[in-house]
Structure 1
């Protein structure tokens, strides 16, 4: 085991097709983890990138599930997670970032800061993850790293500190200049494995010096030593620059920016050095805290090998060897055969095997210590469960799971298919928190809800391949929501005569619109309703949120204020008050002018400029709100907000409008009122 300060738990994230999986492949090759480089579009099970080990990933040329692998560079152990770029698989990014200490955000040298880049950056901010940026694809036509740096500052709202200067661009891109050492880096050999450092070309001396001066000016704001040397005209030593860069990066004051072309094997060695130099070890991250389930007090979890063991199971998979739990160990030392307490289930489980995760392979381990990301084999738990030493009852912060926005109906073709389908769905729902399964109360069809067409398509394909389950698939349906537009009072009495004791409960209050999904406010004066029954009232109102009374969709954006009521000493109970609250909710909801809300999506279309007019016209026909556009060389980026209801089959339409040359990405923005003229179209 490496010492804690030499471990780097990092993720590689980016917009779709920015080159993060290609970059991961180069990292594995140069760290001698693999002996042959594969490309993303390998096309069969014998080729394709190491981290894209699923057959579907290799066929489609995209990353679907995050993969973990451990490699070593110089003195550093790098636990690397390659995450998907497509917004439909955002939960893979979310749960990976939840357990990482640092990250590499990959940006395309042509596309720059794209929609999913902004989303990933927002996720990194939420978990306060220090990061570095790698501007990739500088060999492509139209590459402009200086424009990308300006976009980083403008769109991400951060301070980029550029550590390199490109030697040529597009077809002439041959290497990078290190602005700290003031040397030129070239990458020779069949696969760029020979990292050669030479003097800076004379033609670039002045530009490189200007870039270095800007670098020193930026970081001098947090270093009095650098400021003093600059004022005295002294040379600033490299180690002082690196120390200042590291401190500023860990403090989230700026983000180091590196450059290269992963596909052309250029700049990856420098990035590996930067991962060790500027990203934190587990001991340097902001201290993780957990809630003590016994006292409710938040306590720090120190990253030390001493007891207690505290870990987070952040991802589940299952294969022929049984269930595998991806686990980040935050504290303690764990051995094979040890017992762990699951704080959520309040059960103790035994660790049968410990494994180092190597994408789709596993390496047996006897023991692991705090700071590691490993796999626990044979443990039954759910994603987000805290696993700790028996006698310790701690809860680590969970993950933010987005709500699904699209639903399809599936019907098994036979009884055998029904059994296989049930097994498949049980496994998939356990693995993926954004995938939901329910049953339509009228048609009794199985409803599968997810983050988008591609998300659902992948799971349907996996059902066929892995479980041989055949099913009839209904048309996709949008996950609408219901809300209210004005306040409504309720004064509801539930009274029922039954043999023996009757049932009585009386609640008074009102519903109001609000900007949160749901708020419950208790304003009951002492004695009107016993305090022990207030939680039952709240649960009754929450029951009412599950199914609206306009079209039967869940309710959001609502505040319930419970102001009073009355009870009977023998005929009232918590169950009766829960029923009364739900009935009161239903009556008031109908009087509060309910409306339907539809999911709006942020849309980004990249197209050759000659197709812009026809694409915009078609978007307007789909009720899109055009937000703007930007021309980059011969391409144009169009930004719009468009209802998800109007976006089915858009991929095929866009291909026909642009001769197959345009691409688009889409992510959820917010819920907005559905026009009244369209309400009757909603089932």
Structure 2
């Protein structure tokens, strides 16, 4: 088969993993890489000391706390398909980073804790997927622990998410009684073998047997066989059969049960992703100001920046812009133009990611994610193409919920602080505001954990001991309107004015009440909670 942009794009499966914190998302990421043959032993997320080798959580603070607070990209090839796995932050304080990462995903795996079902953060992330019509595969994790009734879990998916759950497999028990699961369409029973986390798993250790032979094979006793047979028949008749079109339209979710920690059900999940997750789709764009749709098989190389990450390599002050390719055959050394600035880049050292490991990408196609090293030239939301006239919809910045003042303990390092804050703000996880009066920097974030992460990174990556203090402001709004109206307003409220990283005017309010009061007095100026860049 010829390696054309069209045929190669059809081989791509770019998906994100979403979940509530502690549902097992990072562990599942590790074991998908293991199932795909990319690593020989999965990292132990909750292990201690030198045994903690989680590949996707590469930041120091992530490894220490066993949480994901950054978006990682991992590429691996399996069964003649190229998978791009986007591991998103699970913590709600980093929901904006997750939102942007989901713009690059064509499908999502929703991980549910079998004992807890749908939790608040899962619900929020699902709504983002629904807004973008992203089809979802559900993986119900931790079946090797005591779990809710599987029927109740499916009912919860149906009622809370308005999705038709369609189980592809059905479990036999849970916790100490977990024996495995039966594939509903074939009647094959996949036994559960408890293996220690981090072992070198044999790809075929789940070799199935017909359910009727599970007793003679010593996998189930007679009572367990009767129970799983009866329930499987009930489920097969009570839930809609899996329909690929309904799944791709976002109306149905196939459901797989398993235990990521024990590498059970992971092979089946990877097979389902390969079989059902869509290849890259058409992407709406403007071409020289005219609405169009970019087809993944188009010859021109196009894409957009959805993430910027600084200091992935602590030995270098690197800055990697993550580019989701939407069409064409990209080759190392190509020249691409940035639509909104007109700058031309020679992409001589593009990167394929494997968590913090990387290798040069000689070529890539629509659906792939590559990293472009740069020194502040590329920002989140930028559109890149060979002609420079393609513009994709910009990615929004959201108004922060907490504003804090930051200062460095050593006043001689004030200039270094400015560069470090700008570098971290360019990643898009936090906002940086410079008040018109005074020399303070104001950092805006969604939640308190972001400030803790920023303080940790400033210390470890930049050698800056910093203190975050309460700010006199609690709200930030971007201003829009005619230049004369904004200038008139800024003159009257100079003490509350500031600029963001792009020098865009921002009103810094002491309260939501103040912002509403001021907005009523100046109807010709818009006070916006979001700002689109790109």
TM norm structure 2:
0.83
2:407 is the counterpart of 1:411: yes
SS of equivalent residue, structure 1 residue 52: coil
Deviations 1:515-572 (A, max 9, x none): xx9897xxxxxxxxxxxxxx44554577579447876997359878xxxxxxxxxxxx
Q: Which residue of 2 aligns with 1:263?
A: 261
- In structure 1, list runs of 5 or more residues that go unmatched: 220-243, 483-516, 521-534, 561-583, 590-598, 600-683
Query: In structure 2, what is the Cα distance between the partners aligned to 1:405 and 1:85?
Result: 18
Determine whether 1:209 maps to 2:233.
Answer: yes
Determine the structure 1 residue equivalent to 2:285.
290
- Computing the radius of gyration from Cα coordinates, the structure with the larger value is 1
Q: Equivalent of 1:37, from 42, 51, 55?
A: 42
Check if 1:455 corresponds to 2:450. yes
Aligned to 2:210: 199
- Quote the offset at 1:187 in angstroms: 4.3
Q: Distance in 1 between matches of 2:383 and 2:138?
A: 31
Q: Distance in 1 between matches of 2:510 and 2:395?
A: 32
Among candidates 132, 135, 140, match of residue 135 of structure 1: 140
C-alpha separation in 1, matches of 2:512 and 2:243: 55
Which residue does the alignment assign to 2:502?
A: none
Distance of 2:99 and 2:509 partners within structure 1: 33
Picking from 256, 259, 279, the partner of 2:277 is 279
What SS is found at the alignment partner of 2:207?
Answer: strand
In structure 2, relative to structure 1, the CA distance for the partners of 1:549 and 1:131 (3 Å cut) is closer
- Whether 2:374 is the aligned partner of 1:378: answer yes
Contact 2:339–2:385, Cα closer than 8 Å, also in 1: yes
Deviation of 1:416 (Å): 3.2
1:116 to 110, 121, 145: 121
Pick aligned residue for 2:20 from 15, 23, 33: 15
Structure ranking higher on relative contact order (CA contacts 8 Å, 6+ apart): 2
* Runs of at least 5 residues in structure 2 that lack an aligned partner in the other structure: 215-224, 494-504, 530-534
1:474 is paired with a residue whose SS is strand
Q: What is the rounded CA distance, in whole Å, between the counterparts of 1:6 and 1:43 in structure 2?
A: 38
Residue 354 (structure 2) aligns with? 358
Tell me if structure 2 keeps the 8 A contact 1:305–1:369: no
SS at match of 1:407: strand
Structure 1 residues 444-464: Cα deviation after superposition (integer angstroms, max 9, x where no partner): 432221111101111011101
Q: 2:309 pairs with 300, 317, 320, which one?
A: 317
1:178–1:184 CA contact under 8 A, matched in 2: yes
Separation in 1, partners of 2:310, 2:479: 35
Deviations 1:442-496 (A, max 9, x none): 66432221111101111011101111112333247772479xxxxxxxxxxxxxx
TM-score by length of structure 1 reads: 0.66
Q: How does 1:20-419 map to 2 (within 5 A)?
A: 20-44=25-49, 47-188=52-193, 190=195, 191=199, 193=202, 194-200=205-211, 201=214, 202-203=225-226, 204-215=228-239, 218-219=240-241, 245-282=243-280, 285=281, 287-292=282-287, 294=288, 296-304=289-297, 306=299, 308-319=300-311, 320=316, 322-378=318-374, 380-390=377-387, 392-419=388-415
Shift of 1:6: 2.2
Tell me the CA shift for residue 394 of structure 1. Answer: 1.4
Secondary structure at 2:396's aligned position in 1? Answer: coil
- Please give the alpha-carbon distance, in whole angstroms, between the structure 2 residues aligned to 1:556 and 1:362: 48
Q: Which moved more, 1:401-410 or 1:455-464?
A: 401-410
Number of aligned residue pairs: 484
Assess, with a 3 A threshold, how the Cα gap between structure 1 residues 66 and 550 changes in structure 2: closer, same or farther: closer
The answer to whether the 8 Å contact 1:290/1:395 transfers is: yes
In structure 1, the partner of 2:500 is none
The Cα shift of 1:393 comes to: 0.8
User: Secondary structure of 1:146's partner?
Assistant: helix
- Secondary structure at the aligned position of 2:121 is classed as helix
Q: Distance in 2 between matches of 1:477 and 1:149?
A: 47
Q: Which residue number in structure 1 is paired with residue 501 of structure 2?
A: none
Deviation at 1:374, TM superposition (A): 1.2
Describe the shift of the 1:34–1:68 C-alpha distance in structure 2 as closer, same or farther (beyond 3 A). Answer: same
**Residues 551 and 21 of structure 1, relative CA distance in 2, 3 Å threshold:** closer
1:472 matches 2:484: no
Matched residue, 1:435: 430
